[in-house]
Homo-oligomer: A and B are copies of this chain.
Amino acid sequence: MSALAGAPVRSALVTGARGFIGRHLCRHLALNGWQVAGLGHGHWPEAEAMRWGVSRWVNGGVTAANLDALYPSTGALSTVFHLAGGSSVGAAIANPREDFDRTVTTTADLMEWLRLNAPATAVVAVSSAAVYGAGHEGPIAEDADLHPYSPYGHHKLMMESLCRSYGASFGTRATVARLFSVYGAGLSKQLLWDICSRLHKGVRSLELGGSGNELRDWVAVDDVVCALERLADEAHPAVPAFNVGTGLATPVRDVAELVLKAWSSTNGGTAPALSFSGASRQGDPFSLCADVGRLAHLSWRARHGLEAGLARYVAWFQQSQMDVS
């Protein structure tokens, strides 16, 4: 994965670069010799963006105007990693119209801009296991039935459809990466963040939603960004889809216990009692586990185990709290 001496510099645009996965991706690409520009929302001081490998950052939406400003001459843009979009099922249910704009309209604008300005550029469209929806047992292959039932999953599938539409009618090359449960340093939402935040407050008991038996495929962000870079070479007008996961399904209960264990080992304290409410969240499938055969054909393997990965997550969380305080 190191940059090849003498190889031409590849130029990447990362939409949503300032997000959790976006930052890790930018740093990974930069370390591997890519020239990286970023587009997304939020003030990002130049020095900090540079530390993440982003040589140019534009604070704004994925619009033709911002793309024009970034690429007045577009011959050099080899790949767009399209990470911009809604970021959770809950937020999408709370405001479905905004999630639509963030995920679907940005893709419509991006694909149209590429059609008109940079038709040779490859797209890596970052989708989600949420497109599969509920009712699956065991590892889910990419050609499984797609029955999203949250607005988040529906919108991600529309994003994929836009890529297929432009591929079929205009030859735009893209590949779809369906991410499973991505975790790692910087993830400040969802289950792991929630558990750590409550442990940080010193709770004595920890009740989580659901039954604890829900299965998820947890994949380290360091593995994910390697996969995304690899998938840039698979872009094609037929828009192949690839699951990005480990192929291992872990019950939520086990994940929570691993977090508790890592937390206790750092402060020597007693782990709080763990329980589950039994109430499942709206839009939450019971089992989401990747069949990773297609990605394995590209010689990609997840290299980070869950227990060590969660211990690193806990260490990052505790460090981030010390930085804040």
- Interface positions of A (Cβ within 8 A of B): 93, 96-97, 100, 104-105, 108-109, 111-112, 115, 148-151, 154-155, 157-158, 161-162, 164-166, 168-170, 282-283
Residues of chain B within 8 A of A283, CB atoms compared: 169
A165 to chain B, nearest CB (A): 4
Q: List 9 interface pairs A-B (beta carbons < 8 Å), by A numbering.
A: A96-B111, A97-B109, A97-B112, A104-B104, A149-B169, A150-B168, A151-B169, A154-B161, A158-B161
Q: Majority SS of interface residues in chain A?
A: helix
Q: Nearest residue in B to A161 (C-beta to C-beta)?
A: B154
Copies in the complex: 2
> In the assembly, what is the distance between CA of A164 and CA of B164, in Å?
20
Across the interface, name the chain B residue whose C-beta is closest to A98: B112
Which B-chain residue is minimally distant from A151 (CB atoms)?
B165
Q: How far is the CB of A28 from chain B (nearest CB, A)?
A: 32
Q: Once the chains are docked, how many angstroms separate the CA of A246 from the CA of B100?
A: 36
Per CB-CB distance, the 4 closest pairs between chain A and chain B, nearest first, are: A154-B165, A97-B112, A149-B168, A100-B108
What is the CB-to-nearest-CB distance from A151 to chain B, in angstroms, rounded to a whole number?
A: 5
Q: Knowing that A96-B112, A96-B169 are A-B contacts, what are 18 other residue pairs whose CB atoms are under 8 Å apart, sorted by A's residue number? A: A93-B169, A97-B108, A97-B112, A105-B105, A148-B165, A149-B165, A149-B168, A149-B169, A151-B165, A151-B166, A151-B169, A154-B161, A154-B162, A155-B165, A157-B161, A158-B158, A169-B282, A169-B283
Q: Least Cβ distance of A253 to chain B in Å?
A: 27
Name the B residues within 8 Å of A115 (CB-CB): 96
Closest to A165 in B: B154
Question: In the complex, which residues of chain B have a beta carbon less than 8 angstroms from the beta carbon of A158?
Answer: 104, 158, 161
Q: Which residues of B contact A154 (CB under 8 A)?
A: 161-162, 164-165
- Closest residue of chain B to A105 (Cβ to Cβ) is B105
Q: Give every chain B residue within 8 A of A93 (Cβ-Cβ).
A: 169
Report the nearest B residue to A170, measured CB to CB.
Answer: B96
Max count, chain B CB within 10 A of own CB: residue among A149, A165, A283:
A165
A108 cross-chain contacts in B, Cβ below 8 A: 97, 100, 104
Give A89 Cβ to nearest chain B Cβ, in Å.
10
Bound-complex Cα distance A153 to B233 (A)? 28
